[in-house]
Amino acid sequence: MSAIVTNTLHTTVHGTGGLRNIGISAHIDAGKTTLSERILYYTGRIHRTGEVHARDGTGATLDFDPLERQKGITIQAAATWCEWAVPPEAPRHTIQLLDTPGHVDFTIEVERALRVLDGAVLVVCAVAGVQPQTATVDRQMRRHGVPRVVFVNKMDRPGADPVAAVAGLRKKLGLHCAVLQLPVGGGPALEGVIDLVTGRMLRFEGAHGEEVVDSDVPDALRAEVAAAREALVTAVAEVDDATADRWLAGLPVDAESLHAAIRRATVADALAPVLFGAAYHNVGVQPLLDAVVRYLPSPLDRVVEGRTPPGALGGASVPVAADPEGPLVALAFKQDETRFGTMSWLRIYRGRLAKGDTARIMGTGDTVRIARLVRIHADSTVEIASAEAGDIVAAFGVALPTGDTLADPAAPLVLAGLEVPAPVVAVAVEAHDRHGAALLTAALARLCRADPTLRLDRDAESGQILLRGMGELHLEVALERVRAAGVAVRSGPPQVALRETVRRAARFDYTLRKQTGGPGQYARVIGRVEPLPEDPLGYAFVDATYNGAIPAPFVAAFERGVRDALTNGRRTGSPVVGVRVVLEDGAIHAVDSSERSFLAAGRLAVQEALADADPVVLEPVMRVVVEAPAENLGSVLGQLATRRGLVTDTKVAGEAAVVEAEVPLTTMFGYISALRSATRGGGSFVMEPLRYAPAP
């Protein structure tokens, strides 16, 4: 028997429990945006599907930015919402969806999305398996405690290997996987999937796969399906006591009990359900939506930690549950400059927020009034009167600092902010004339407010404006946005964020003595500068003086001087890291010693000691993964060697080669052009920061 299943839209589950806040994350080109497009289509949110690489200029709904359509990649997180019912005749749940970039240069977009989401869909390519950025986003999910379901995409591609993909999830990511489906066929012969929970075959028919045809499992596959279901029950029983009790007793585990057990284990982040499909060819998307509603947590399943402001309670920890009736607590996690003004994205964790309400920005202490509140769908918005716990919305007309908390003034509370990685690349920028300089500075400042991984500095010696970011592509996109705003800008060669360190200990015994006809300056400091092997990028100060040889205020001033000296190193002017400074002894003068004199002594003493401590320049080293045709493997290895790359792994599977290497960032500029030339456009690469190492 077979039946056609469609998701009929009618009543909606209202309230916080009916919400699913999810993100879609993956390595670049794993099919995130295509999957998001199919989700919007099958839920009825859009009525035609766009494609990432569409030649007619339309593109995917969530890749609405002209730069995204031009480059064929996701650059910024995009938000939308849709509805889905499981089973089809049941009331609908609301899914609030954030589609995030896959390129490591835009990792802040993934970071701040995962900070506010309750669950995620981790997309993995069935051909390439677990790739570098897959591991990166998985680490981000773990750091924020975000449960995930895994969608193994591109099962319609030649070379698709679902077994290897699941093995990679287990081995490389350490996920406890529960395989919920058995793909039928593979590559261009992909027919559909078998749902191991219900034991039903699912095919996806119709012009766009909108008709889910439910049928019996073919006789030839019954034995394989039975073994796969037993493996599924075993995997669930390992993390769910109720299932383990039935399994050990030899009792059958019915579909509803298995659904409930999978949800319990997934919400507890002890299990990763795995599904298969091919978003581009409309296979497997509806069962993934079912899994999102069935297994991923609602806001009611999540409790975050807040802290009271420092004061009478001393910053006490307070659990924040998704209670719509409680005092307001919300997190501002993104800021956009739109043609209608500044728009601040908010995740409401507790309480309600309505137009006209006032709230306190906890970081600044300012009180703001919410004039407009909207829901976001790609590049459009829908105005709403109010939102409540669990909602992801945006406020127009208020520039809320990214990572800051918005709270009820009568019940102030602070949520943890965002972890913002430090930029590793800088480019010098300048305007064409004096009038353009003001416009350029204003445009760059707007970009930096919207993207915390962009930093704007001015070189103290040259006076140049430096724009710092996460990579070449990151800076290129930023400058293209400036030009698109009508501001002419010139840029110089990218600069790398170098560091300095020391390789041996050096002593200092420095006396500052100045007399200018009144109270003079006197400070004597004795100590040493030495490597800090336990924290190669850190700094430590030790006050080892005794018997009050140097008063505490002078010791504090000395350390400020030390920090000044370490901020600008001896060789390149870059910060000195990985050092411990120990103050052992010293002397003061009853009249001439002051905090000012000890600050200067600290700076000058450490500068002299650094010169004797075998200083060395450190450069950032990147983990680089190159994918190219196997026939071009020799050229790829040769290019990496000329760029001082250390190859750590090489794999050849069929016609494709994957090379992993550690390469200094300073040598990677312009590599994409060289790689494409050597592989006739068939090569690509990704890189992520690995460590700092001595430069030659």
**Per-residue pLDDT reduced to its tens digit, 565-590:** 998 777 677 899 999 999 999 999 98
Per-residue confidence band for 9, with pLDDT thresholds at 50, 70 and 90: very low
Give the H or E element holding residue 533. none
Q: Which of 147-151, 647-651, 688-692 shows the lowest mean pLDDT across its residues?
A: 688-692
**CA nearest 156: which of 285, 58, 36, 41?**
285
Per-residue confidence band for 543, with pLDDT thresholds at 50, 70 and 90: very high
Q: CB under 8 Å to 546, separation ≥6 — which residues?
A: none
**CA nearest 161: which of 178, 184, 186?**
186
Beta-ladder partners of 192: 184, 203
Per-residue confidence band for 125, with pLDDT thresholds at 50, 70 and 90: very high
∠ CA 125-130-134 to the nearest 5 degrees? 95
Per-residue confidence band for 8, with pLDDT thresholds at 50, 70 and 90: very low
pLDDT of residue 52: 53
Question: In this model, does residue 676 exceed pLDDT 90?
Answer: no
Per-residue confidence band for 681, with pLDDT thresholds at 50, 70 and 90: low
Q: Hey, CA dihedral for 428, 434, 438, 439, is it positive or negative?
A: negative
**CA nearest 293: which of 82, 131, 130, 499?**
82
The CA R_g of the chain, rounded to the nearest whole Å, is: 29
pLDDT of residue 186: 79
Per-residue confidence band for 463, with pLDDT thresholds at 50, 70 and 90: low
Question: In this model, does residue 119 exceed pLDDT 80?
Answer: yes
Q: Mean per-residue pLDDT for 322-343?
A: 88
For residue 184, which phi and psi values (nearest 5 degrees)? -105, 115
pLDDT of residue 473: 83
Interaxial angle between packed helices 255-267 and 241-248, expressed in degrees from 0 to 180 and rounded to the nearest 10: 140
Instruction: Give percent of the chain with pLDDT exceeding 90.
Output: 52
Q: Mean per-residue pLDDT for 479-491?
A: 85
d(CA 1, CA 648): 53
47 conformational bin, left if phi > 0, alpha if psi -120 to 50, beta if neither? alpha
Per-residue confidence band for 685, with pLDDT thresholds at 50, 70 and 90: confident
- Sheet containing 367-369, strands listed edge to edge, beginning at the edge strand earlier in sequence: 367-369, 358-361, 404-407, 329-338, 341-350, 392-396, 372-377, 380-384
Question: Half-sphere exposure of residue 132, counting CA atoms within 13 Å on the CB side?
Answer: 24
Question: In this model, does residue 387 exceed pLDDT 60?
Answer: yes
Question: In this model, does residue 10 exceed pLDDT 50?
Answer: no
Q: Hey, CA dihedral for 321, 325, 326, 331, is it positive or negative?
A: positive
d(CA 611, CA 501): 11
- Give the pLDDT confidence of 62-98 residue by residue, as tens digits: 767 777 777 777 778 888 999 999 988 888 999 999 9
Checking DSSP bridges between strand 425-430 and strand 490-496, what pairing results, if any?
Answer: antiparallel
Residues 420, 424, 425, 426, Cα dihedral to 10°: 70
Residues 442, 448, 454, 460, Cα dihedral to 10°: 50
d(CA 160, CA 152): 10
pLDDT of residue 460: 58
| Domains detected in the chain | 2-301 (3.40.50.300), 325-415 (2.40.30.10), 425-497 (3.30.70.870), 500-613 (3.30.230.10), 619-694 (3.30.70.240)
What is the secondary structure of 122-162 as a DSSP string? EEEETTTBS-HHHHHHHHHHHHHT--EEEEEE-TTSTT--H
Per-residue confidence band for 152, with pLDDT thresholds at 50, 70 and 90: very high
Token duo for residue 189 = 């012969």
**Amino acid identity, position 66:** P
pLDDT of residue 324: 92
d(CA 127, CA 653): 10
Taking residue 550's Cβ as centre, other Cβ atoms within 10 Å add up to: 23
Per-residue confidence band for 5, with pLDDT thresholds at 50, 70 and 90: very low
518-to-119, 521, 594, 598 alpha-carbon distances in Å: 68, 10, 14, 18
- Give the pLDDT confidence of 577-628 residue by residue, as tens digits: 999 999 999 999 988 899 999 999 999 999 999 999 999 999 999 898 888 8
Residue pair 496/619 in contact (Cβ under 8 Å)? The answer is yes
d(CA 393, CA 449): 19
- Give the pLDDT confidence of 180-213 residue by residue, as tens digits: 999 998 788 899 999 999 999 999 999 889 999 9
* pTM for this predicted structure: 0.74
d(CA 18, CA 89): 15
Residue carrying structure tokens 């962009």: 454
Checking DSSP bridges between strand 19-26 and strand 119-125, what pairing results, if any?
Answer: parallel
pLDDT of residue 416: 87
Beta-ladder partners of 26: 123
Instruction: Give the range with max mean pLDDT: 200-209, 308-317, 478-487.
Output: 200-209
Question: In this model, does residue 265 exceed pLDDT 90?
Answer: yes
Token duo for residue 81 = 């919402």
548-to-525, 584, 587 alpha-carbon distances in Å: 13, 11, 10
pLDDT of residue 364: 87
**Omega before 252 within 30 of 0, i.e. cis:** no
512-to-506, 521, 562, 596, 608 alpha-carbon distances in Å: 19, 7, 15, 11, 13
Give the H or E element holding residue 102. none
pLDDT of residue 311: 59
Q: Mean per-residue pLDDT for 335-348?
A: 86
Interaxial angle between packed helices 595-612 and 552-567, expressed in degrees from 0 to 180 and rounded to the nearest 10: 40
**CA nearest 524: which of 516, 514, 533, 532?**
514
Residue pair 512/596 in contact (Cβ under 8 Å)? The answer is no
First to last CA, the chain: 71
User: pLDDT averaged over the chain?
Assistant: 87
Question: In this model, does residue 532 exceed pLDDT 80?
Answer: yes
Residue pair 118/20 in contact (Cβ under 8 Å)? The answer is yes
pLDDT of residue 193: 96
Residue pair 392/378 in contact (Cβ under 8 Å)? The answer is no
